[in-house]
Chain A
Amino acid sequence: GNSVTQMEGPVTLSEEAFLTINCTYTATGYPSLFWYVQYPGEGLQLLLKATKADDKGSNKGFEATYRKETTSFHLEKGSVQVSDSAVYFCALSDRGGAQKLVFGQGTRLTINP
């Protein structure tokens, strides 16, 4: 079945540091890939997505590129802020069907001023 493996957390960085959170997946066919973010006390919200190989999703300074050859979708940001502190989830969904999401275990990110 489909699965997503994320970099183990928690991750603690200083403000303005470079961020990478690794994500790899196993899937049949050609899934769509997502990064969701969960701020404290809130539900998940979409951060960015990519629907086909070599697509780059970007939002709020975050980027991730759909790499079919390495089955990866790593999240990066060049300069993190305290406000980026949250839990980040990598996820995939099958094309068509019911768009069910399969999530990684989440990575808690803390940014210190």
Chain B
Amino acid sequence: NAGVTQTPKFRILKIGQSMTLQCTQDMNHNYMYWYRQDPGMGLKLIYYSVGAGITDKGEVPNGYNVSRSTTEDFPLRLELAAPSQTSVYFCASSLEPGGRSTEAFFGQGTRLTVV
């Protein structure tokens, strides 16, 4: 059972470069999320999606874009990398709760450094 898979695990970008962080889940979860984790800080929500074709901004969306063309995949795009985007990025998914909270399942993270 793969769960949530993120690629790549590590990446170094130069300022101004672009890249896409890939995220796929095999649990048929409706909800997917992208968080970033800065040193000594909790995770902050970048974007989220409640289903294919539906995305919405989180707390820190500037400099990022997302798409959700299938239930399984939720890629995160950085168009013009900046040093402030150096962080660890986590993708997560969860089931539509149906009135009860359910847990979120996290990928192993992508460590991105912008130089």
Contact = CB atoms under 8 A, between A and B. Distances in A.
Given A99-B31, A99-B94, A93 B43 contact: no
Main secondary structure of the interface of A (DSSP, over half): strand
30 contacts: A4-B42, A6-B42, A42-B108, A43-B107, A43-B108, A44-B43, A46-B103, A46-B104, A49-B101, A51-B101, A89-B43, A91-B42, A93-B101, A96-B97, A98-B48, A98-B50, A99-B94, A99-B97, A99-B102, A100-B45, A100-B48, A100-B58, A101-B35, A101-B92, A102-B45, A103-B35, A103-B42, A105-B41, A105-B42, A106-B41
A96 B94 CA distance: 12
Interface of B: 4, 31, 33, 35, 40-45, 48, 50, 56, 58, 90, 92, 94, 97, 99-104, 106-109
Nearest to A105: B42
B43 A45 contact: no
Interface of A: 4, 6, 32, 34, 36, 41-46, 49, 51, 89, 91, 93, 95-96, 98-106
A91 B99 CA distance: 18
Nearest to A34: B103
A45 B108 CA distance: 10
A99 B100 CA distance: 10
A93 B108 CA distance: 21
Contact of A45 (B41, B44, B48, B106): B106
Nearest to A10: B40
A51 B100 contact: yes
B101 A44 contact: no
Given A42-B109, A44-B92, A46-B104, 16 more contacts: A6-B42, A34-B103, A43-B4, A43-B109, A45-B106, A91-B42, A95-B97, A98-B50, A99-B31, A99-B104, A100-B45, A101-B104, A102-B45, A104-B42, A105-B40, A106-B40
